[in-house]
Structures are given as structure tokens and as C-alpha cells.
């Protein structure tokens, strides 16, 4: 069966040029980067070059880039590390109710450690109210963690404004930018970002490799102790092939961003227009303007999203009913509930996320099958 993939927020296929860059470090150049002989030194040089490329792309310093196993580790490393290291300054943290579980569960851990966490609820359009954010700042606020782009509804938060406010009051600002990288021109200096998380497999790189950017004047405690890798801040033998692939993937993403975004947005907009025209009783979740170009999250009243997924899967179509990390759970999305949707309408949501290799023909096929599936399920429910 021909697979038609529309779940790029869950993961992206690895780009051919990225794989080619990685292959030498999966085969002949297998040396441990911590070794003193040439086979190891060569790999250390590859890591240093990758670090330099990534730093240049996001406008940071080379010594502010740390490699991790992915977005979840990066979130944990930054949030727990900064909070614990700076506890003497205060014990209050601000985040939102629509963050990724890696952020929300890190916050729960810190609450058990005595920290106070404020969870901001976004407006109905899925975007944080800046005035509401300002009201919750206190003298004991040491850290703010607000995601750049939401993984379920694609909304883009006012990161520059939040970063400017945090910088004014000397509060550390972290953003989970996992869903932004490759689609938004992220500049850590322009946005006043002190710490940032990213994951390679979201922008056509390999799985199992992530990046933490942490500004050099920000103190944090180590999440993983052991050897002297990553300047004594993140122990463990480096994933050389993954690191090299991440740098190449991010380089591609920045280079081709405008071209890819234009193509993806055209497909996404066509999908939304046709679904609105052909299927009644729907709700588009999240703001349509301040939204990443890939995302279309729509609730189809009268059905269960997971059931529509099963119907689409029969035709080789891959979409999602929520974040990939929630797969298998029947509970309604915490993001959609935070927007004020009912449980039934939250369960009726289907997330379609487009990628650079999708075509108009595939999109038309998707629209036909979504219409067919929704009509079938609605009849069945009567």
C-alpha cells in the first residue's frame, strides 16, 4: 500500500542528504570522540563543527550548545537544571497549560521539590494573553517556560514579547522550540531566549538526538552525571552520527525555509478550505493567523477522532488525533480542553500536519477520504 504521510509534527522522514552525511560515522569512522588517537579525534572534530553550525544558525555562541537524546531530555535538563541551581533567587515558575508533557511533568516534579508553578491558560485561540502573563510575575519568579509552537494546534506564542519582559526583570526564559525549528527563523538573541530545546527528528533529521541551547551566564545543575562529555554538563558517549545529521538537517531547514513554507502553507490552506466547504459541523482549533504553516487541527462533531484515524489508515493515510506522545490514550487532549472545548469535541479532533514532500494529489486524496470517513462514522453513530 502506498503510504500518504500527514503526521510531520509526530516525526519527519530523514532527508537523504542528512543520511548521506551520517553514514561515514555509522560505518568506518566509529571511534569514540573521547579517545586520544586519530580515529576518535576525527569524530570530536565532527562534533565541534556540528556545534558551530547550529550555533551560527540560531545566533548563539558555540559553548552554549549541548547535545542530548531529544526534546524531552532537553526540556528536563533546562527546566529542572535552571530551577534547582537558582533556587536561592526564588521558587516561582510560570508555564502554560498547553505545554508538552515533558515540560508539564518537569513542573510537577519541581512542585514536589517545593517550587510554586503558575499554569497560564491561553485564550480560546490557543495563544497566551501577555497582560495575563504580566499579572502573574512576582519578585520570586526565576523561570518562565512557554513553548514556541504548540505541537497539537500549531499556534505560535508571542515569544519575543515574553522574552523581552523576562529580560527586563532578570527572569530566565526557556522555550520548547521543538515544533518551531525548520518553520520559524529562530534567533535566540532577537527573541531574548535564555534557553531553548529542539529535537532533530522534527526537521528531517534522525531520531534520538536533541539540542539544548543554554545562555552562557545561566547556571544549571547537571541532569546526567558521569564522564566529561559536553564540557562536564551532560555525560555519556556522544551520538556522533546523530549530531552530524542534526547539524545538516537544521542547515537544510534554514536554507530552504521560505520555499518549503510557501509550498506547505498552500497545501494546508487548501485542505482547510475544502474541509470547510465539504463537511459541516466542524471546528478549526487554534488561531489561523498565528500558526505554523504545517498544522491543521479540526474537530469533527459527532465522531471520535481515533475512529477516523482507523478509517484513514485503511487507505494508507497517516494522521494523528493528538500529540504522538499521547498515542494509545483515549483521554481528551489537555490542550483542547484548555481552549475550552468540551470533552466530546476534544475527542473528535484530528491533527493533519503537512511536510515538504507532500503533493496536491495526495492532499486531494486525503480530503476525499476524510469526507468519506466522517460521513461513514456519523451515519454509524445515529
Structural domain spans, the chain: 4-12+257-381, 16-255
Q: What is the pLDDT of residue 329?
A: 52
pTM higher than 0.75 for the full model? yes
User: Which amino acids are annotated catalytic?
Assistant: 325
Q: What is the pLDDT of residue 379?
A: 94
Can you tell me the distance from the alpha carbon of 123 to that of 107, in angstroms, rounded to the nearest whole number?
21
**Could you tell me the CA-to-CA distances from 13 to 16, 203, 367 in Å, in that order?**
9, 9, 22
Domain at 4-12+257-381, CATH class: alpha beta
Question: Cell numbers 537524546 correspond to what residue?
Answer: 69
From the list 248, 224, 249, the residue with the least C-alpha distance to 238 is 224
- The pairing of strands 210-214 and 195-199 is antiparallel
Burial state string for 94-106 with b = 16 or more CB within 10 A and e = fewer than 16? bbbebbbebbbeb
Q: What is the pLDDT of residue 324?
A: 47
Say whether domain 16-255 belongs to CATH 3.50.50.60. Answer: no
Domain 16-255 in the same topology as domain 4-12+257-381: no
DSSP 8-state assignment for residue 7: B
The answer to whether 283 and 311 are in contact (CB under 8 A) is no
Q: pLDDT by residue for the chain (382 residues), tens digit each?
A: 799 999 999 999 999 999 999 999 999 999 999 999 999 899 999 999 999 999 999 999 999 999 999 999 999 999 999 999 999 999 999 999 999 999 999 999 999 999 999 999 999 999 999 999 999 999 999 999 999 999 999 999 999 999 999 999 999 999 999 999 999 999 999 999 999 999 999 999 999 999 999 999 999 999 888 988 888 789 798 999 999 999 999 999 999 999 999 999 999 999 999 999 999 999 999 999 999 999 999 999 999 999 999 999 999 999 998 644 545 556 899 999 999 999 999 999 999 999 999 999 999 999 999 999 999 999 988 7
Cite the DSSP H helix spans in the chain.
16-26, 38-58, 71-85, 101-112, 130-135, 159-169, 229-232, 240-255, 257-278, 305-313, 334-338, 343-347, 360-381
Amino acid at each position: 500500500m502506498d503510504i500518504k504521510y500527514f503526521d510531520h509534527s509526530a516525526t519527519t522522514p530523514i532527508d537523504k542528504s542528512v543520511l548521506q552525511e551520517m553514514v561515514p560515522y555509522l560505518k568506518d569512522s566509529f571511534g569514540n570522540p573521547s579517545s586520544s588517537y586519530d580515529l576518535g579525534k576525527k569524530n570530536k572534530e565532527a562534533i565541534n563543527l556540528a556545534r558551530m553550525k547550529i550555533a551560527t544558525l540560531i545566533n548563539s555562541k558555540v559553548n552554549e550548545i549541548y547535545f542530548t537524546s531529544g526534546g524531552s531530555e532537553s526540556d528536563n535538563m533546562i527546566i529542572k537544571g535552571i530551577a534547582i541551581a537558582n533556587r536561592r533567587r526564588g521558587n516561582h515558575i510560570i508555564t502554560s497549560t498547553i505545554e508538552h508533557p515533558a515540560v508539564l511533568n518537569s513542573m510537577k516534579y519541581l512542585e514536589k521539590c517545593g517550587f510554586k508553578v503558575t499554569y497560564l491558560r491561553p485564550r480560546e485561540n490557543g495563544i497566551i494573553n501577555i497582560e495575563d502573563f504580566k499579572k502573574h510575575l512576582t519578585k520570586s519568579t526565576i523561570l518562565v517556560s512557554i513553548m514556541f509552537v504548540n505541537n497539537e494546534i500549531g499556534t505560535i506564542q508571542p515569544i519575543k514579547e515574553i522574552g523581552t519582559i523576562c529580560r527586563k526583570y532578570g527572569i530566565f526564559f526557556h522555550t520548547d522550540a521543538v515544533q518551531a525549528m525548520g518553520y520559524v527563523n529562530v534567533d535566540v538573541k532577537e527573541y531574548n531566549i535564555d534557553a531553548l530545546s529542539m529535537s532533530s527528528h522534527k526537521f528531517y533529521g534522525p531520531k534520538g538526538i536533541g539540542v539544548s541551547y543554554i545562555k552562557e551566564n545561566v547556571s544549571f545543575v547537571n541532569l546526567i552525571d558521569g564522564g566529561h562529555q559536553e564540557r562536564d554538563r551532560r555525560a555519556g558517549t556522544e551520538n556522533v552520527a546523530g549530531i552530524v545529521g542534526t547539524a545538516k538537517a537544521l542547515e537544510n531547514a534554514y536554507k530552504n525555509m521560505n520555499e518549503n513554507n510557501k509550498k506547505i502553507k498552500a497545501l494546508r490552506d487548501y485542505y482547510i478550505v475544502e474541509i470547510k466547504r465539504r463537511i459541516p459541523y466542524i471546528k478549526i482549533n487554534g488561531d489561523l493567523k498565528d500558526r505554523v504553516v504545517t498544522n491543521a487541527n479540526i474537530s469533527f462533531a459527532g465522531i471520535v477522532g481515533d475512529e477516523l484515524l482507523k478509517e484513514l489508515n485503511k487507505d494508507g493515510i497517516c494522521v494523528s488525533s493528538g500529540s504522538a506522545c499521547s498515542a494509545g490514550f483515549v483521554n481528551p487532549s489537555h490542550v483542547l480542553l484548555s481552549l475550552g472545548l468540551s470533552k466530546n469535541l476534544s475527542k473528535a479532533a484530528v491533527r493533519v500536519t503537512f511536510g515538504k514532500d507532500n503533493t496536491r494529489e495526495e492532499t486531494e486524496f486525503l480530503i476525499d477520504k476524510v469526507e468519506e470517513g466522517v460521513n461513514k462514522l456519523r451515519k454509524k453513530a445515529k
